[in-house]
A = this chain, B = another copy of it.
């Protein structure tokens, strides 16, 4: 078994100004390749604290992964401290320098003098070139242990972890075979799901474990198998997934790296359908769920965010009388929105949302969380009422996911 410790560096974590999401991300990635994380440690931007963290960690762990303290300013001292820890010099790396200069050039910004500091790396390291920011990551392997240092900016850290660090760790350490298979469900709660599959779960062999991972109106079932023979393990896991499927088929929308967004994107492409969106309460977030996917312009034609009643009429052709009679948050209005956007944008499918996202704006009849969603295609228009919660952001996110589920159910 390979043991890892995550050492997060930065006063802002100790002051409680930001949450240490990096440690969670890295832990989860290490878990997937069978490396056991035994400790998370966060220390401040102070050489003595970082050194103490390093000395402690190397006593316990085979892999020490550091994040943070790699910026160009005076309070960023991780690199210097690592060099001191190993008694190494900091040396200039021309390739890092060229990459930093190139990034500033592309952004049309002038490079500051102190960015050059970022091109210095410990002499005993292998540079992990950062394609997503200015601070290079470093990999030092000494006495069978590995020390990785990465910038703390989450988007950079995530890319460096998955694209550079994880593959290197897999080839450096002999890790056991761990196989995961994720079954994605939507439209059913964790407890109801557990009841439906109880018997199957009880009969799982001991080397295959099951976890329920709830996530935004979805529940992921994760099967994890450990074994010697990778192919056999994969086959066993696949067989178990086949066995459970008939029990929960109508809730299952995908496997492994699928997301509800990517599954809907594939469904639209396979069925050669175009789509458009008309949003009130989701305010652009539903559109974003389509447009964040590369290549979405092939089937997503556009949309309207109709926050005002006038925009519902002007841009979507909703009848003012409908709004007058039933209200903006109603089955009638949301259906006309879906039909209107479908017609205006000439797409096969139109979807729409209208509701009270909150925290204010509720009435006794339509309290915060009352939301209508609609789906329209050549066969007709269907609408569904949701009764969600008091949190604005969650209402926006939940509604967008439930519209995707509505598409999934109707597109076939």
Point out residues on A near B: beta carbons under 8 Å: 8, 11-21, 23-31, 36-45, 49, 53, 56, 71-75, 103, 106-115, 131-132, 153, 155, 180, 189-192, 194-195, 210-214, 222, 224, 276-277, 279, 282-288, 290-292, 294-297, 300-308, 310-311, 314-315, 344-346, 358-361, 369, 386-394, 396
Contact = CB atoms under 8 A, between A and B. Distances in A.
A344 B304 CA distance: 12
Nearest to A189: B109
A261 to B, nearest CB: 12
Nearest to A159: B391
A31 B19 contact: no
Given A12-B213, A39-B41, A284-B305, 4 more contacts: A16-B26, A73-B190, A277-B305, A283-B296
Given A106-B389, A392-B292, A302 B300 contact: no
A214 to B, nearest CB: 7
A14 B29 contact: no
A40 B12 CA distance: 12
Contacts of A56: 56
A155 to B, nearest CB: 6
The prevalent SS among residues of A at the interface is: mixed
- 6 smallest CB-CB distances across A and B, nearest first, come from A283-B291, A284-B287, A16-B28, A16-B27, A112-B191, A284-B284
Contact of A288 (B18, B45, B283): B283
Contact of A286 (B276, B284, B387): B284
A305 B292 contact: no
Contacts of A285: 284-285, 288, 291-292
A87 B296 CA distance: 56
A23 B20 contact: yes
A40 B20 contact: yes
30 contacts: A13-B27, A16-B26, A16-B27, A17-B213, A19-B19, A38-B43, A38-B44, A39-B41, A39-B42, A39-B43, A72-B190, A72-B191, A73-B212, A106-B369, A108-B387, A109-B189, A109-B192, A112-B189, A132-B389, A276-B311, A284-B285, A285-B285, A285-B288, A294-B359, A300-B307, A302-B305, A303-B304, A305-B305, A314-B345, A315-B345
